[in-house]
Structure 1
Amino acid sequence: MPVSRRGAALLGAATVATLGVAAPAAAQPVTTDSVLAWYDTTAAAIAGGGAPTQVTNSRTWAIAWLAAARAQAHTPSADGQRAALAGAVHQTLVTLVPTRRDSADATLAAELAALPDRPQVRDSVAAGRAAAQRLLTERAGDGLDPASVNTAFPVPAAAPGVWQPTPPQYAGATQYGNRVARPFTLRSAGQFRPAPPPAIGSPRYEADLAEVRAYGAAASTVRTQAQTDTATFWLGSSLTLYTPILRAAVAQSPAPVLERTRLVALFHVAAVDTQIATSDAKYTYQRWRPVTAIRAGGDATWLPLHDTPAHPDYPSGHNTYSGSAEGVLTALIGPRARRPYTIGSPTAPGVTRTYGDWHQPSAENIDARVWSGIHTRSADVAGIRLGEDVARHVVRHATDLLR
């Protein structure tokens, strides 16, 4: 399948012209593909020893794979690019996820055993390590460590429309510090800040709230089983849910190591910048969650299908991530997969869903957060648009980013 014209124009035909997709198996088999070997090693390291904050783990992905792409740009041979990938990802993982060093060491040993032992390969491994170390130094103190991300948020005085802690835990807000973290490409966290949410009492606001009240209630009598299943499937971490989607794109691409490495790098750079922009918007508007609004309107015992995350409603973070992911994949690959791909969900064990494009997961995410009772539709739609805006910006600036 050809790359979209927009993607080729933004990133350069030489970079993306051979990207494509095909279908993966539902499980992830052992592979001799270097890019997939390091992809799976990165994913396993983060799943088994990563940070408690999603954006911190997105940062690890971004540093590892962006460093690899930068080192590969100066290594023309296929073996050299494979070696540079190994050096960069290994160096990043042993630094940022040290508890998973054994698995990173094992992948490195396997990769080096498969490569010829000659100076160019050894130099490329060293170049990858050096690129990773430079980027780690460059990103030091960027505010994306867990403690900085979850800087305490002083709860504002209760007022119509203003966020308050939500039942049943009434926990303090999270991700407040994320809004002042240093992005990879954005000029500021608020560069693409969405317009304000619908005014309290406006027709759009009332329609949003009525929809959540009816379809998102724990005891809803109108939500179908299929809608409940969709809400449950998309409940988990966006990083966890999208890791197999990006893997499908990487696994199915006939492109060489360099182009597939760049795809992973740009995806996660956009994910980090999107999460920073999301927190900026959330804490600028501080919009209350549906459960707070509905209870304030007189239904004092109303509860959502799923517990409400501890941060403001607008925009939806799940949907900003979806918009970013869809934007990067569409720009660099095109809107559709060559053949269907299948993913699972940690919040729906044993359940899989199959998709033929990158848009349907976004569409389901919009509905899912309403049917979970935890977001308004306006917050979901605004989230998709914000993620798409950041993705376009990242891809547009890819040439400078990848140097």
Structure 2
Amino acid sequence: MRGRFTLHLLLILLFANYGDSIAAVAGPSPRLLHRAEKNLTRVIVYDIFSPPAASRIYLYANVAAYETLAMQDKSYRTMQGQIPGFPDMKGLKSEKKVNYELAAVYAFFKTGGKLVFSEHLLIDSIRVILNDFREKDTLVYNNSLRLGQAVADSILTWSAKDNYAKTRTKRRYTYSKQKGKWTPTPPGFIDAVEPYWSQIRPVSLDSAGQFKPVPPPGYSTDTASVFMKEVREVYHVTQKLSKEEVLIASFWDCNPFYLNTQGHLNFATKKLSPGGHWISIAGQAAESKGKNWQETAAIYVLTSMALFDGFISCWDEKYRSQFIRPETVINAYIDEKWRPMLQTPPFPEYTSGHSVISAAAAVVLTYLLGEDFSFNDHTETDYGLPVRTFRSFNDAAAEAGISRLYGGIHYRSSITNGQHQGELVGRHLLSKIKVK
């Protein structure tokens, strides 16, 4: 109820001085858009979407909001003509009186709502806002909602062609029996997550394999091999973690599949996805600089695109190399009782997903907000963790990467090569997609 009351109050502040004598009025700040992002994140966490699937939801919801606001400000470019197959929405713009901010938030909710399982939770959030605004100006209210719905319908039609539905019908993933290949890990031994994600249509990439990284070190149980040296590094690093390293690993855990086991009782702890963490960072950064509606929407949409393409690129490599996780090797050849600090995610090791998408997001945010952008990250306070301060987005991305070594779930080469992979994805995105 507290969240709904906050949304209700925000709407009153946003539209208290709104009249029907002008075609469009900008709100004093995009706080309502930030609130919409947080509400969508809560539903994504509640529904336990995989990291790649969560990035898809963020993408389409943010594109809907951005495209609506771009209709109001001609200095911002539509994605039509920049992304192959993107719908032409010029005909959706109405000459009637419209509040584009309201329309954008409505388009965001209506798009995101159709992509999550618990749509009713989003409907409950937006209903309070819309019912209140209806009493203040019915004409503008109806015009704005019609525009928002039309944009959402167009984006959802476009999203339906990205092969997501086809990947839901694919045959169950078959594990390789070759040595060095990934197999499910304790405690849940969960089946492979999104093994066909490379078939999802990207935004800017020519193909999922466009930035294929170098192969992982050759699997070998020889103690002198490069691979076993990396395995031992994971083992030794996790044996003597400092308090700061434990905090870093926990702060960037972002594992929506975390499974608690107590005797015969198993239950999940719902956590933020890696993409959700970077969406939060994008919002905090935009808000700290007082960015307006259009600027904020541009920050969110480019960040979501970097995350989306980053996951496609990373998952393409994960199920190509199908590389074995440290936990499996260490238990077999070094210490059968060893467990990583973080719970091993249910998909192949190489490359590190957090490293890829963090680097990609950092490239975009650095381009939009600056190289030396110092910020405080409050994302994990909801999960009982303290605020962390970073000198730059690249600083945050580097810490996100090394957290996977501290957590015992990735080898160093997976992190390093994943970061390079993500940087290439981010730079390519900026070369292909322009918001202004």
Instruction: Determine which structure has greater relative contact order: mean sequence separation of CA pairs < 8 Å that are 6+ residues apart, divided by chain length.
Output: 1
TM-score, normalising length from structure 2? 0.74
Which of 298, 309, 324 is the matching residue for 2:360? 324
Please report how far the alpha carbon of residue 285 of structure 1 lies from its aligned counterpart in structure 2 after TM superposition: 0.7
Worse-matched range after superposition: 317-326 or 235-244: 235-244
Verify the 8 A CA contact 2:29 2:290 in the aligned structure 1: no
Q: Which residue of structure 2 lines up, in the alignment, with residue 177 of structure 1? A: 196
Identical-residue share of aligned pairs (%): 27
Structure 2 gap segments, 5+ residues each: 1-5, 15-27, 76-97, 255-272
Shift of 1:250: 1.8
Q: Does the Cα contact within 8 Å between 2:303 and 2:364 map onto a contact in 1?
A: yes
> Could you tell me which residue of structure 2 aligns to residue 156 of structure 1?
176
The answer as to 2:97 corresponding to 1:62 is no
- Aligned-partner residue type, residue 327 of structure 2: V
Deviation string 1:316-339 (CA, Å, 9 cap, x unpaired) is 1111121122111011111232x5
Is the 2:29–2:292 contact (alpha carbons within 8 Å) kept by the matching residues of 1?
no
- Residues 53 and 146 in structure 1, CA contact (< 8 A), matched pair in contact too: no
TM-score with structure 1 length normalisation? 0.80
5+ long unaligned stretches in structure 1: 1-27
Q: 1 CA distance for matches of 2:133 and 2:304? A: 23
Secondary structure of 1:336 counterpart: coil
Q: 1:146 to 1:311 in 2, by over 3 A?
A: farther
- Which of 17, 38, 41 matches 2:36? 41
AA aligned opposite 1:358: F
Counterpart of 2:31, as a letter, is L
Residue number in structure 1 paired with 2:235: 213
The one-letter code matched in structure 1 to 2:328 is: T
Quote the residue 2:344 is aligned against. Answer: 308
Map Cα deviations across residues 278-333 of structure 1 (whole Å, 9 max, x no partner): 11010011111112222343433332222211111110111112112211101111
Asked if the contact 2:279/2:303 (under 8 Å) is kept, the reply is no
What is the aligned partner in structure 2 of residue 129 from structure 1? 149
1:67-146 correspondence runs (5 A): 67-76=64-73, 80-97=99-116, 98-99=119-120, 100-108=122-130, 123=143, 125-144=145-164
Matches within 5 A, 1:282-293: 282-293=318-329
- RMSD of aligned residue pairs (Cα, Å): 3.1
Contact 1:55/1:144 (<8 A) preserved: no
In structure 1, distance between residues paired with 2:202 and 2:327: 32
> Which of 255, 260, 273 matches 2:296?
260
1:364 equivalent in alignment to 2:399: yes
- The 1-side partners of 2:29 and 2:382 are apart by 30
Tell me: CA distance 1:76–1:245, structure 2 relative to 1, closer, same or farther (3 Å): closer
Distance in 2 between the 1:146 and 1:318 partners?
A: 26
Equivalent-residue separation in structure 2 for 1:149 and 1:362 (angstroms) = 35
> What CA deviation, in whole Å up to 9, does each residue of 1:247-287 have, x standing for no partner?
11221234432222111111112211111111101001111
Q: In 2, Cα distance between the equivalents of 1:197 and 1:360?
A: 25
User: Which amino acid is the alignment partner of residue 228 of structure 1?
Assistant: V
Helix, strand or coil at the partner of 2:235: helix
- Code of the aligned partner of 2:233: E
Matched position secondary structure for 2:229:
helix
CA contact (8 A) 1:144 1:181 kept: yes
Larger Rg: 2
- Checking the alignment, whether the CA contact within 8 Å between 1:295 and 1:301 is kept in structure 2 is yes
